[in-house]
Structure 1
Amino acid sequence: MQAVLGEFIGTMILILLGGGVCAACNLDKSKAQNGGWIVIAMGWAMAVTIAVFISGFMGPAHLNPAVTVAMAMTGAIEWSQVVPFIIAQLLGAIVGAILVWLAYLPHFDVTEDKDAILGTFATAPAIRNIPANIITEAIGTFVLVLALLAFGKNDLQFGNNVFAVGAVILAVGLSLGGPTGYAINPARDLGPRIAHAILPMKNKGGSDWGYAIVPIVGPIIGAIIAVLVFNLF
């Protein structure tokens, strides 16, 4: 139960800080409005770093269903833990997104751009091409999971390991995030997308459920391929 709680709290913090930087850059009258892609990429990298530090003493701090599946494939966790971890991650992501909404409530009220509001919660492609978008998400997650597996073989201390994970998130965001916004985490997209659908925001549009499959399927595919490649060595 402690590990499951760690997944919930860690993912909540991840989305609070990661979604928070999206809100800061996207919403009207925010002091960080138009901060740009580098600010968002740095914000997400630090969000992952802080979230792992906060939850790491309670459990493995996957904070990502794709990572959980990958670690079950390697035997690092039992398969029986996969569903409870993923449920905790999804619920944590929903709560984290709601906290972002509360933190920026006046800014959501004055923002009329529906895409900017949705972009605070969920990812969207720069060019909508579902097969290509899935490939992009798979490649980004492949890099993430392969790096996580490699870090485990490099005998890094916990603190160094956490900062290394943040560096990977930053690298993926800057180098591979342009096409899809690099969800690379099904809970990161699905949880906030659910929050967007249920929250009473006066200027919101649709939650774009037609795209929601991409940040679920792509990361899972990428994680599985990363494990298969890692097992070759």
Structure 2
Amino acid sequence: MTAMRGGGQFRAGLGGELLSEFLGTFVLILFGCGSVAVAVAGLPGSGRQETPFDAGNWLIIAFGWGLAVVFGVYVAGGVSGAHLNPAVTLAFAARRGFPWPKVGPYWVAQLLGAFVAAALVYALYAPAIDAFNAANNIASRDQSVPTYAIFATFPAEYFNGGWWGPLLDQIVGTAALVGLVAALIDNRNQAPLSNLAPFLIGLVVTAIGLSIGTNAGYAINPARDLGPRFFTWIAGWGDLAFPGAGPWFDNYWWIPIVGPLIGGVVGIVVYDLFIGGVLAARLARPPEEREPTPEVGRVPEKKRS
């Protein structure tokens, strides 16, 4: 009985939040990396696609990741808030009062969820990966950039091995993600009703993939990249994973970690500077100073709850 009470206390507190972050991130990576596996190796090897990787495959990836976010957030949102991303956790600690002592445990849970999901994607698609390498005369996994891309990210060839372009890409992409998440969950603003926020957050990720995704694979999430990267390092992709060395890039592993962590804080600060602070100032005014009727084209000020 005592053990049952102890287990209940664990689930009711931080332990339950960590289980939620683990499972939500697991769902995110399972569907996200799974969609890349379909586009890169699954369709070509299955006999269902005869053309090379093209724009249609990129649409599979973009919408696959978007839907992965939707369902990951629905899984975890009611327990942990569904951060599913160390950059989100850091931004919420910096600007939303999320407790700093929880940041490290959340990061660990997210990383473990991503790692385990990557292992499951590999278990599902190992035959397709091996068939892809054989069909393309790739002798070993540590030479197979396309199949490595199923799990983790790398920069586009046009950066010529430079780190500033990919780092800026990750900062901007994550800033857009976190800033828009802040807008979508801000009840002082035009936050979506009827529990639609997860769908719209998923569409944010889809939009990022469709607009700047080819620069560096739009990791925009340290756990999304680092967890599967650890797995690929163990599973035989070698230097492609760590230190992140390929035909046109080297020592890349840190960029999808540092860039998103910077970008997440930048995104929420920008939102607060331009929108959040304005909403707070409007709500702080006494009722007698508020406009009884807003100007044409302006949204009325919301009443205090």
Pairwise TM-score range, normalised by the shorter structure: over 0.9
Normalised TM-score (structure 1): 0.93
Tell which structure's C-alpha radius of gyration is larger. 2
How far the C-alpha of 1:109 sits from its partner, in A, is 2.3
Show CA shifts across 1:77-132 (max 9, x none): 21111000000000000001001001112112223251111101101111332111
Q: How many residues align?
A: 230
Q: Report what 1:230 is aligned to.
A: 271
Q: Report what 1:160 is aligned to.
A: 196
- Please give the residue correspondences for 1:1-233 in structure 2 after superposition, counting only pairs within 5 Å: 1-27=15-41, 28-30=44-46, 31=48, 34=53, 35-112=56-133, 113=138, 114-126=144-156, 127=159, 128-153=161-186, 154-157=190-193, 159-199=195-235, 201=236, 204-206=237-239, 207-209=241-243, 210-232=251-273, 233=277
Q: Is the 8 A contact 2:183 2:191 kept in 1?
A: no
How far the C-alpha of 1:155 sits from its partner, in A, is 3.5
How far the C-alpha of 1:152 sits from its partner, in A, is 2.0
Structure 2: how far apart are the matches of 1:142 and 1:190?
A: 19
Secondary structure, counterpart of 2:81 in structure 1 = coil
How far the C-alpha of 1:161 sits from its partner, in A, is 0.5
Structure 2: how far apart are the matches of 1:81 and 1:214?
A: 24
Normalised TM-score (structure 2): 0.72
Structure 2: how far apart are the matches of 1:19 and 1:136?
A: 20
- Which structure is higher in RCO with an 8 Å CA cutoff and minimum separation 6? 1
- Provide structure 2 residue ranges, at least 5 long, that are not aligned to the other structure: 1-14, 139-143, 244-250, 278-305
Structure 1: how far apart are the matches of 2:132 and 2:60?
A: 20
How far the C-alpha of 1:158 sits from its partner, in A, is 5.9
- The alignment yields a C-alpha RMSD, in angstroms, of 1.6
How high is the sequence identity, in percent, across the aligned residues?
40
AA paired with 1:3?
Answer: E
Show CA shifts across 1:132-181 (max 9, x none): 11001100001001001111223433621111101100111100112111
Q: Is the 8 A contact 2:181 2:201 kept in 1?
A: yes
